[in-house]
């Protein structure tokens, strides 16, 4: 494994004095990736196979692709190699949980496979693909989010499992599965759409039996910003792995445009950022949330670069959101490390604590700093913004 940077000019200063708060000239993606190398050389000291780590590794890999600095590629490889063994087995991964979250790190595995050709990464990717081939499904054909959440579709799961599904199929030539990949996305949109707002609810219960589910629609009570962010990023990313002429690709792009347009209607007018519950901006305790706002802005930025969004106002909305995101969510420590603040630590439905999807529930989850579910989207968005320079 290489340990020498391809250039020294890519390195950024390590003192906080070198950067001003919210400074638009700072290379935020590069500084954020440098921060990870210094502050978290091991991305998961608990030895747990966790989806949010893959999100950060994807962000660091993007910085490697843009800078050519192999330290960032080495960081991805070192941290994935904590889990992927010489025979391709994945330590601390539980196949039989049928948990879509466990598949997300497969994107970093595919990055390494394409960079190195190492067959152990192919074996690890094969295992994750095999999970999806046996993943339980709802009557509509959608993957269950987890085995412990039967007949439930969560928007988070499209980012976790179905983008990898599409990319793997494209890599190995499984064109017979393209329709199924598309089905995961179009089903999720159709099943969770709230026509009154144009936004998608957090989750859907096909049985209508969960205590959080509407008895008629099966929908959870609220939209949740980060779920919308996961879904928007997933709809952007998947298009790279679908045939250009497949009608499902056009439908996914149409759905993406409709969702982003609806989200823009609910953006905070002062900042072009979004609240934890986007369509409840005026309610007490609701707050501008970083992880979901960064995800939505990242989806907009990538869509603009790839030509997925058209019409006036998008560039201005993106630039204004990024300006306020730097001011609202980012700080730099005395060491010169980036902190990302104001993120919901976690939110879900059901489980041992009977998470009921109510407004009070979403307001009750801790607000934290530097959780990987927010740090990864920061890296992804910052990388896109630097590409616009």
State the pairing for strand pair 338-340/199-200. unpaired
What's CA 214's distance to the chain center, in Å? 27
CA distance 236 to 268: 23
CA distance 200 to 193: 4
Is 180 in the active site?
no
CA distance 30 to 18: 14
| Active-site pick, 69, 151, 156, 237 | 156
CA distance 377 to 103: 18
347 with 371: CB under 8 angstroms? no
CA distance 210 to 252: 28
Q: Which residues are catalytic?
A: 156
């Amino acid at each position: 494994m290489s340990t020498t940077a391809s250039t020294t000019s890519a390195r950024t200063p390590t003192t906080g004095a070198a950067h001003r708060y919210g400074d638009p000239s700072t290379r935020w993606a590069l500084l954020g990736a440098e921060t990870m190398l210094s502050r978290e050389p091991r991305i998961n000291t608990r030895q747990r196979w966790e989806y949010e780590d893959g999100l950060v590794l994807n962000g660091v890999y993007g910085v490697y692709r843009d800078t050519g600095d192999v330290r960032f590629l080495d960081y991805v490889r070192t941290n994935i190699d904590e889990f992927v063994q010489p025979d391709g087995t994945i330590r601390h991964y539980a196949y039989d949980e049928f948990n879509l979250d466990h598949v997300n790190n497969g994107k970093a595995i595919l990055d390494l496979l394409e960079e190195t050709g190492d067959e152990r990464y192919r074996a690890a990717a094969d295992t994750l693909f095999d999970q999806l081939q046996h993943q339980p499904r709802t009557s509509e054909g959608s993957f269950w989010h987890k085995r412990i959440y039967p007949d439930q579709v969560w928007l988070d799961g499209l980012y976790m499992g179905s983008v990898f599904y599409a990319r793997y199929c494209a890599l190995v030539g499984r064109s017979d599965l393209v329709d199924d990949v598309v089905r995961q996305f179009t089903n999720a949109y159709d099943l969770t759409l709230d026509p009154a707002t144009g936004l998608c609810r957090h989750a859907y219960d096909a049985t209508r039996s969960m205590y959080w589910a509407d008895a008629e629609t099966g929908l959870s009570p609220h939209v949740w910003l980060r779920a919308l962010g996961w879904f928007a990023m997933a709809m952007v990313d998947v298009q790279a792995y679908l045939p250009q002429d497949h009608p499902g690709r056009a439908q996914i792009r149409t759905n993406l445009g409709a969702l982003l347009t609806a989200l823009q209607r609910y953006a905070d007018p002062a900042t072009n950022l979004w609240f934890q519950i986007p369509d409840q901006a005026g309610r007490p305790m609701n707050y501008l949330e970083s992880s979901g706002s960064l995800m939505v802005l990242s989806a907009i930025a990538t869509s603009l670069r790839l030509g997925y969004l058209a019409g006036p106002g998008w560039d201005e909305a993106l630039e204004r959101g990024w300006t306020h995101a730097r001011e609202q969510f980012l700080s730099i420590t005395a060491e010169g490390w980036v902190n990302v603040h104001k993120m919901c630590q976690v939110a879900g439905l059901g489980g041992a604590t009977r998470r009921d999807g109510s407004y009070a529930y979403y307001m009750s989850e801790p607000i934290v700093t530097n959780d990987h579910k927010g740090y990864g989207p920061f890296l992804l968005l910052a990388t896109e913004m630097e590409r616009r320079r």
